[in-house]
Structure formats: structure tokens, C-alpha cells
Amino acid sequence: MIGSPFATSAGLPAGHGPIVQICFITNDIPASVAEWTRTFGAGPFFHMEHVDLRDVKYYGKPVVLDESIALGYWNDMQIEFIHQHNDTETIYTDWKRGVRLGVHHVLVNTDDLRKTTAELVKQGMVPAMEAIVGLGGEVTFFETHHPFVPFLEVARLDALFGPLFAYMKRAAREWDGSAPLRPVPDQGVWSKG
């Protein structure tokens, strides 16, 4: 029996590694975190207000994006909530306006965003938004043309994020249910490993 060519295609998202994050758009991060922790028992979430994103482009057009996020872990799966503060047209605005609901995107990591982008474009995915991450790295969001997971985020993040995410995972494993939404501590706290 011949297997599906999609099962092993390196050009498709599964060929680039596992999904490491599921993201939801919200107009109220504290309420979303409270609901998530009550329903699923996952947390705590770390709030990053007015994230430093640079050179944001929406379908190639420069835009000013003002967003805050909260990141937490459900075992090894990162859960993200995004709140866009301004009304700039972005990939988030349909959710912000309540036109669409549910999962917004999933994320996979890459070591070479240019190469991964080229491979995904060959497979028919359309780059919808891209940005430079202020802490170090870059991201591109692709249209998936799938109703249940509309966008795929591909991220190339600098090494700094490894200790930060490890700190968040430890916090989830050790969480006693208190302070479900909290600020990210100073780098000296989480960069020690």
C-alpha cells in the first residue's frame, strides 16, 4: 500500500516539527485566563502588555500593531491569548470584532524562516502577517485555508526564549492555583535556569 504523500512531506507544516502553541484572540485577557484555568486547570499565565513587535506587515503593508499577550502551559503545550488594543486591520481583527471565534492559530518553530516560508508558499499557503520580535526573533503567519485553524504561525526565536519558556513550564508544573495571571518576572529570575 502506498502511503499518503502528505504524511511525510517536509514542505507541509507537520514536516517542520510539532505544534508547540495554540492561540486564541480575546478582548479580555484576565477573563479568558480565569475561564481557562477554571475549566482546564492549566496555568499560571504570564501577561506581557504592549508587546514589542517591529516592522509589522499585513499582506506586505506596514501597520502599527498594539497587542498584549498572556502565555501559559498545559503540560508541554503553550496556550496563548492575544488582545489587540488598536483598530489597525490585522489577522486578528475578525476575532476582535466577534466575526470569528475559536482557535486563531497554531505555532511551529523553525531555524530558518526564509526556507520554511518558501516551502509553505510552494504548498499554497499565503503569508498574511510578519513581524520582528523585540526580544529577538521573527514570526510569519500563513493563511491555512482551513476553517478550524485559520492561521499557522512560524517562529524563529532567539535563544533567550528557551529559558523563559522553561521557566513558564516549571511554573505550570509547580502551580498551586494562586495568581493565575501574573507579570513576567525580571530576566534575572528566569534566565538562571
DSSP 62: E
Mean pLDDT of 21-34: 95
* 98 contact partners, CB below 8 Å, separation of at least 6: none
| CB within 8 Å of 156: residues ≥ 6 apart | 109, 110, 111, 112, 113, 137, 138, 139
Q: What's the alpha-carbon Rg for the chain, to the nearest Å? A: 17
Q: Would you state the pLDDT for residue 189?
A: 87
Euclidean distance between CA atoms 40 and 70, whole angstroms: 16
Domain ranges of the chain: 16-190
Asked if CATH classification 3.10.180.10 holds for the domain at 16-190, the reply, yes or no, is yes
Average pLDDT of the residues in 123-147: 91
Q: For the segment 43-64, what is each residue's pLDDT rounded down to a tens digit?
A: 999 999 999 999 999 999 999 9
- Identify any residues that bridge with 152 across adjacent strands, giving them in sequence order: 106, 142
pLDDT in tens, 88-128: 999 999 888 887 888 899 999 999 999 999 989 988 889 99
